[in-house]
Structure 1
């Protein structure tokens, strides 16, 4: 069996150990330490964010963003349906109700027109949303000018889930810096990792400091433990922050490699009928976190599941596109505004191996496997 080719494994820069050793030699092993402060500063410098707080996960960051947006039990929160469940679960943490908004075809992200329709309909029924969560899917920014305009018009807090889009831009603005709050994930499969972690960013110093306070169990600044509010154990550790600093030092190299991988797939698979790629709208730069394709089985004569199984047979990991939240059993009673775009993409889409450490030989192995699937299915159809 050939070696396993993973979808998007961690890729170390070499500087992580240097920073970790600094933490060990100074005995900053506890959940606080200088690397956390430096990681937050360096993230602000890179993204252009005003303020940041490093946390244990992107999900934790979203939970705090909703809290700081004033979302409470019984409120409705509008959220992209085409996303990972971590984009929606924090809504339920607060006892609020998710309302899922479908995608448009230009970027596969939240449809601004559908968002506007949804807000207007809910306001007519006396249910103005407590917040809107827009996801920058697979590293591609959503149509933020239109989405932000809608949210500003109706005075609704806008939260950007940029878990997958560090290194991506909408026009001249880094994702997560356009709305009221933004968040990143540093999970092991992201473009950079801290092994596990996330970050919340925002323009309000007061609100980000409140997030910092809540993330450390809402402990009051006293010599003994006193708490006036319910807090959370959400702070990133100094060791994880040290890893993150090493990773962030090479972020532009990682973005460049991700984009090279996407370009290679697109150029070499362009001749295969029925395969199309995630759109690349010209309103910004995508980090191409994962290279995603959509397959028309009538034209290609094979399905995305057929291809996934064929790749797996060659010890190559791939993954279907996100199953929309409005189709998830856990959210079967949630409201939604659906156009059918996300369902179609889920049924036809596949994420290809996109790890930045993949070598040309392994990338060619993936490509040749896909070409062979196409040849075998089209050859058999000619004989039939």
Structure 2
């Protein structure tokens, strides 16, 4: 069986329906292509309605949203921001955009997200060292909610605001509430591989009206109220276009279907891979949470197999199936070699043993079986 017998199976390709075209056509007919327009307002309303946040500001990327979020929290040169080590680099880069430095904290085993105990340890020591920790970024990795009750309690105790990076987690819930409205500010991403997409895009969510206004102002070149172009503060070109917001509106109509399908795919992988002792499918949901299962992940158990995630990845490639290692922890990245790290073994171990499997919501049951068959050939 050669790879050309089968179409390529991607990790998480965009999944568009019919709805998006209606909004796009409308924008083109109305000649409303420039940044701000009815789709943008509508998309922001959809996001507020869905997450329960009072305000949403649609932006060009999740990274832009984190950048503006940090500015609104007053983070600047000389400050520190706590960031989970086990995440994509886009969580940490904006900390440096504002002249601050990240401090990394390890994950815990039940959700793979920020460990509340390690967080307390980090805050405690940074305070003892006389450092100014201005924000804590919490990430819901692969759409799995972090242990928010404990994390928010520790943050409140130390008086440090939480910026919630829900870039991978739209459609997930914690204690019945949608993610994206737990931080003082929260961030979403609509990148091409996310659960819903605007091709490129993101949003900043908050209940603070002043912050929302300020974010809009900064995202549109910070133009003062004058008939000519006058600027008193540094601004950015971060607003989402009205056209792309139209795609977002169409996608939001389908979000529940998309979450349902990704969760089904996860359940199928669990069932089909269960007989393989060498494999453990990514973390189970803690009580009272709903993961969106953006990506299904697996861990190899070295007791049962000599194979590495890279062996599996290369084998899947021969079957024309895309897979990907888990995020390489940021404390292991050359870019952040000098950054302090609290904890350490857990995220490094997950990276050494883990692989992300194709999880796109357009996958068929046969596609899932095809991936499992290829894994069985190796294990």
Interval containing the TM-score (normalised by the shorter chain): over 0.9
Alignment partner of 1:79: what SS? strand
Deviation per residue, 1:52-87 (Å, 9 max, x gap)? 100000000000000001101110100011000000
Q: Does residue 275 of structure 1 match 2:279?
A: yes
Q: Residues 272 and 300 of structure 1 are in contact (CA less than 8 Å); yes or no, is this contact kept in structure 2?
A: no
What corresponds to 2:313 in structure 1?
308
Q: Residues 311 and 318 of structure 1 are in contact (CA less than 8 Å); yes or no, is this contact kept in structure 2?
A: yes
Deviation per residue, 1:71-106 (Å, 9 max, x gap)? 011101000110000000000101101001000001
Q: CA RMSD in A?
A: 0.8
**Bigger mean CA offset, 279-288 vs 37-46:** 279-288
Measure the CA separation in 2 of the matches of 1:5 and 1:343: 28
The Cα shift of 1:222 comes to 2.0
Q: Residues 165 and 186 of structure 2 are in contact (CA less than 8 Å); yes or no, is this contact kept in structure 1?
A: yes
Measure the CA separation in 1 of the matches of 2:53 and 2:17: 24
Q: Residues 320 and 349 of structure 1 are in contact (CA less than 8 Å); yes or no, is this contact kept in structure 2?
A: yes
Q: Does residue 360 of structure 1 match 2:360?
A: no
What corresponds to 1:338 in structure 2?
343
Alignment partner of 1:52: what SS? strand
What corresponds to 2:105 in structure 1?
101
The Cα shift of 1:303 comes to 1.8
Alignment partner of 2:311: what SS? helix
The Cα shift of 1:145 comes to 0.4
The Cα shift of 1:173 comes to 1.9
The Cα shift of 1:361 comes to 2.0
The Cα shift of 1:196 comes to 0.1
TM-score (norm 1): 0.96
Aligned residue among 124, 140, 144 for 2:144: 140
Measure the CA separation in 2 of the matches of 1:315 and 1:221: 55
The Cα shift of 1:220 comes to 1.4
Measure the CA separation in 1 of the matches of 2:255 and 2:359: 15
Aligned residue among 364, 370, 376 for 2:375: 370
Q: Structure 1 unaligned segments of length 5 or more: list them.
A: 375-384
Deviation per residue, 1:261-294 (Å, 9 max, x gap)? 0000000001101211221212310000000110
Aligned residue among 259, 274, 284 for 2:289: 284
Q: Residues 86 and 113 of structure 2 are in contact (CA less than 8 Å); yes or no, is this contact kept in structure 1?
A: yes
Alignment partner of 1:99: what SS? strand
Measure the CA separation in 2 of the matches of 1:265 and 1:48: 32
Q: Residues 138 and 162 of structure 2 are in contact (CA less than 8 Å); yes or no, is this contact kept in structure 1?
A: yes
What corresponds to 2:130 in structure 1?
126
Deviation per residue, 1:93-120 (Å, 9 max, x gap)? 0110100100000100000000001101
Q: Residues 269 and 281 of structure 2 are in contact (CA less than 8 Å); yes or no, is this contact kept in structure 1?
A: no
Measure the CA separation in 1 of the matches of 2:167 and 2:200: 12
Measure the CA separation in 2 of the matches of 1:94 and 1:203: 23
Deviation per residue, 1:343-375 (Å, 9 max, x gap)? 00000000000000112222211111111211x
What corresponds to 2:90 in structure 1?
86
Alignment partner of 2:13: what SS? coil
What corresponds to 1:42 in structure 2?
46
Q: Residues 290 and 352 of structure 1 are in contact (CA less than 8 Å); yes or no, is this contact kept in structure 2?
A: yes
The Cα shift of 1:305 comes to 1.3
Q: How many residues were matched structurally?
A: 374
Measure the CA separation in 2 of the matches of 1:185 and 1:214: 19
Aligned residue among 193, 198, 201 for 2:197: 193
**Bigger mean CA offset, 85-94 vs 269-278:** 269-278
What corresponds to 1:295 in structure 2?
300
Dislocated runs of 4+, deviation >3 Å: none
